[in-house]
Structure formats: C-alpha cells, structure tokens
Amino acid sequence: GNSVTQMEGPVTLSEEAFLTINCTYTATGYPSLFWYVQYPGEGLQLLLKATKADDKGSNKGFEATYRKETTSFHLEKGSVQVSDSAVYFCALSDQRSQGNLIFGKGTKLSVKP
C-alpha cells in the first residue's frame, strides 16, 4: 500500500541556516504530494504541493520537487526564521486512497535566534 517516510526529528537550527527535511514515498499509482505545517495547538496548513513528476512546489521560501525516479519530495528552505518553528508533515494522496492523505510521522523543527 501507499506510505510516506520522512526524516525523524526533532531538528534544531539557528536562524538563517539551510533546511532540508527528507521525504520518500511508496505508491502504486501517480499520487499528488504535499507538505503540511502544523503550528503548536493548531490544525494543519498546506505549505506546498506538486501533482506530477518534476513539478516544483514553492511557498514562503520553502521548495520541494516531485522526483519520481527517486520517489522523493524533500522540503528545503535556504534561510529559516524563528517563525518557521513547527511540525512539518509530508503527505500523499491519490484516487485509489479516495483522497485520504497518507502522512509521514512529522518532523519537528525548532529555530533558535
């Protein structure tokens, strides 16, 4: 079945550092891929998405590229801010799963000033 594996956290960085959170997936079809962010005590917000191979999703300085050959969708940001501290979830969905988002376990990011 479909699954998502993302790097374990927590990740602690200094402000302005480079961020990479790895995400790989297993899917039988052609899924859409997403990164969601969850701030403390809040619901999930869509950060970015990509719906087909080689698409690049980007938002608020974050980027991720849908790599079918490596089944990956790694999240990157060139210079993190304290306000980026949150939990980041990689997820996929496809028609077979009836739109059910399959989430990775989440990676907690803490950015120190």
Partner 1 sequence: DAMVIQNPRYQVTQFGKPVTLSCSQTLNHNVMYWYQQKSSQAPKLLFHYYDKDFNNEADTPDNFQSRRPNTSFCFLDIRSPGLGDAAMYLCATTTGYNTEAFFGQGTRLTVV
Given the rule CB under 8 A, which residues bind partner 1?
Answer: 31-32, 34, 36, 41-46, 49, 89, 93-95, 97-101, 103-106
- Residue number, 5 or 17, with CB nearest to partner 1: 5
* Amino acid found at 68: K
Strand partners, 3: 26
Annotate 6-19 with DSSP letters as a single string: E--S-EEEETT--E
Least gap, CB of 88 to partner 1 (angstroms): 11
Q: Which is nearer to partner 1, 79 or 105 (CB)?
A: 105
Q: Judge whether 106 and 10 are in contact, CB under 8 Å.
A: no
* Beta carbon of residue 66, minimum distance to partner 1 (angstroms, whole number): 14
How far is residue 27's CA from residue 5's CA, in Å, rounded to a whole number? 12
The CB-of-105 to partner 1 minimum distance in angstroms stands at 5
Kindly tell me the sign of the dihedral angle through the C-alpha atoms of 71, 10, 109, 86.
positive
Q: Which is nearer to partner 1, 92 or 111 (CB)?
A: 92
